[in-house]
């Protein structure tokens, strides 16, 4: 059976990738920071087929030797692990840029050393859209790259870390004849497999509590009615598997299903869950940016996505089951 390594296996998106790989018959090597942390990783052991085909390895992104051990014998790697800020960071160089960039370098070098066939790197829509030089009337696609200098000057550290590490990964692949593909998801909502709320689902939790606080500095303009690009975590996992399995996949893929204003999202949530206390009186964004992008390249690879209503209903269901919502 083919072996695939998933970095940061206990995370929100990575857990769904592990679940889908196991369901399709793969053997999975998952890297985690702490093998004994049941709160963060215990849910992985409960997945169907985990007992027979899931093997967890202790390794973080800065542990090159540990990554080599985890990746050894694998045909492919899906690199999901990344530091995500909860608001403003004290030392962006140490907390965001270094772990993401050095970590991706370590993963790429480990893949080269262990003779991996294919690597799928999870980047971000924020590695695409933060480009003030992009023509306003031109649809954003995979040819658009965020301006890393602009991101750092604007203190968009997650954005900067993603665009720099994605560029390096794709260039490393070309230079070393390693098949590297990048998938760039937007804000990921949907059901959780673990009991700990992730950065993006905290957005929903905050809205239910009457706070328009995005917990992600790339979006966090608390009183403004900003555009929110959304993709379901299950559709994101599906995109990653398509990028891995399809021999024709190449380059980068924009992965986002829905785009709506915060006020529109709040109204949809009100219709579905009327008994919560939602934020009111949001003003129009001073930046007035309407993100106009296309996911045509990913759709041509065979991708499709769920309705936003299904995503939101399933998000709330699992948050309630985890005791995060009344």
Q: Please identify every residue annotated as catalytic.
A: 162
67 Cβ neighbours under 8 A, 6+ residues apart? 7, 31, 59, 61, 106, 107, 110
Whole-number Å distance between alpha carbons of 99 and 126: 18
Whole-number Å distance between alpha carbons of 182 and 108: 13
Cβ atoms of 273 and 316 closer than 8 Å: yes
Whole-number Å distance between alpha carbons of 125 and 268: 23
Whole-number Å distance between alpha carbons of 95 and 167: 20
Name the packing angle between helices 12-23 and 233-245 (round to 10°). Answer: 60
- Tell me the residue length of the chain: 326
| CA 222 to the chain's CA centroid | 22
Cβ atoms of 256 and 125 closer than 8 Å: yes
Greatest extent of the chain over all pairs of C-alpha atoms, in Å: 56
317 Cβ neighbours under 8 A, 6+ residues apart? 191
Whole-number Å distance between alpha carbons of 48 and 64: 30
Whole-number Å distance between alpha carbons of 279 and 277: 7
Classify burial at 108, counting beta carbons within 10 Å of its beta carbon; exposed 0-12, middle 13-18, buried 19 or more. Answer: buried
Q: Give the closest residue to 283 by CA, choosing from 321, 235, 226, 233.
A: 226
């Amino acid at each position: 059976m083919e072996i695939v390594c998933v970095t940061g296996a206990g995370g929100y998106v990575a857990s769904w990738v592990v679940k889908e790989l196991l369901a399709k018959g793969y053997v999975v090597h998952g890297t985690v920071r702490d093998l004994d942390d049941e709160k963060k990783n215990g849910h992985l052991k409960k997945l169907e087929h985990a007992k027979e085909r899931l093997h967890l390895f202790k390794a973080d992104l800065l542990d090159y030797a540990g990554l080599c051990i985890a990746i050894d014998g694998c045909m492919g790697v899906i690199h999901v692990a990344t530091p995500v800020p909860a608001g403003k960071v004290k030392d962006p160089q140490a907390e965001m840029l270094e772990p993401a960039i050095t970590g991706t370098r370590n993963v790429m070098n480990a893949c080269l050393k262990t003779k991996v066939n294919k690597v799928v790197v999870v980047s971000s829509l924020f590695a695409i859209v933060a480009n003030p030089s992009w023509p306003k009337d031109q649809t954003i696609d995979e040819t658009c790259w965020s301006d890393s200098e602009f991101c750092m000057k604007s203190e968009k550290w997650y954005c900067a870390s993603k665009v720099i590490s994605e560029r390096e990964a794709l260039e490393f692949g070309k230079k070393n004849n390693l098949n590297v593909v990048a998938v760039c998801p937007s804000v990921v909502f949907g059901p959780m497999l673990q009991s700990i709320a992730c950065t993006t689902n905290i957005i929903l939790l905050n809205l239910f509590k009457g706070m328009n606080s995005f917990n992600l500095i790339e979006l966090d303009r608390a009183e403004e009615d900003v555009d929110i690009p959304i993709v379901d975590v299950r559709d994101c996992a599906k995109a990653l598997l398509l990028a891995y399995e399809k021999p024709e996949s190449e380059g980068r893929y924009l992965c986002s299903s829905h785009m709506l204003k915060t006020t529109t999202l709040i109204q949809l949530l009100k219709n579905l869950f009327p008994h919560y206390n939602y934020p009111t009186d949001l003003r129009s964004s001073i930046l007035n940016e309407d993100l106009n992008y296309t996911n045509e390249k990913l759709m041509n690879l065979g991708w499709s996505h769920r309705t936003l209503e299904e995503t939101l209903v399933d998000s709330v269901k699992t948050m309630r089951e985890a005791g995060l919502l009344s």
